[in-house]
A = this chain, B = another copy of it.
């Protein structure tokens, strides 16, 4: 792949922690090693790459740790927990890639940087807490927590597993570190950034300062925001299926290999893509393509190399 195109690759959650595992370090390292191997061709090529990643299971674990130790150690707010996951996930992923490079004689420097993502304090998401995070609680536990955390919101799990904390998921409006990431790419570094959708912050105009906020930013939307601001050549969103589908898992399921913006928007409106999963991915692709006139691809990590040569994945284009 002799091509110095600039691309953002958004890694799905299962690239770093199998959803069936509890998240031991051995399981994390195994997943990261496998991901590093699967990314090898593109990362060792002339492509200039920013890797972004989710943090769902990992931040869930940190929230459980915060709750369990709450009588001994002050729990941290969500922005700080996300920052912690940028540390742990970034480190494990970076190390796996470095080891893969070393074994195969690739001399390329990797950097993982903390990334703050600015949201609008007037985002409607702040009056519509929609994103469930962390452990399940029974009603009594939930009420006990609410006595101490008066601003927390809970929602009943539709599958009857109990209550979960819900937090706002506001739109990313600015990646604070865009200029630095751009410089690093120009210096030929492989960059790991925007982990977990970025550390959520907003600008408090009264105090004239940036403050953290208890929210979770969708990592695909944040990746699209970065891809737009960097004006990259392609946005690649990796997930656990090779293509998007309409009528997914029904008898009349149709694979989507090629979507223009009108088609993509129509299918979004028709509700073909599920809210917690494919929905934000297609939405992120649409935002990138609309803003830049370039292409986005949604595929699996196994088909990444094929996707880069147009032989696999759902391509969203103008």
Contact = CB atoms under 8 A, between A and B. Distances in A.
A84 B91 CA distance: 9
Interface stretch (A70-78, A226-234, A245-253, A277-285): A70-78
A93 B201 CA distance: 14
Contacts of A73: 22-23, 61, 64-65, 68
B74 A83 contact: no
A183 interface: yes
A187 interface: yes
A64 B74 contact: no
A90 B95 contact: no
Interface stretch (A109-117, A148-156, A305-313): A109-117
Interface in A80-100: 80, 83-88, 90-92, 94-95, 98-99
B95 A88 contact: no
A180 B92 contact: no
A62 B85 CA distance: 12
Contacts of A85: 84, 87
B83 A90 contact: yes
Interface stretch (A206-214, A216-224, A256-264): A206-214
Contacts of A74: 22-25, 61
Interface residues of A, number: 55
Nearest to A94: B114
Contacts of A95: 116, 201, 210-212
Interface of A: 22-25, 61-62, 64-69, 72-74, 76-77, 79-80, 83-88, 90-92, 94-95, 98-99, 102-103, 109, 111-114, 116, 135, 177, 179-180, 183-184, 187, 189, 199, 201, 208-212
A208 B102 contact: yes
Q: Which of A61, A67, A84 has the most CB of B within 10 A?
A: A84
B114 A87 contact: yes
Contact of A69 (B69, B103, B177, B183): B69
Contacts of A25: 74, 76-77, 80
A64 B67 CA distance: 12
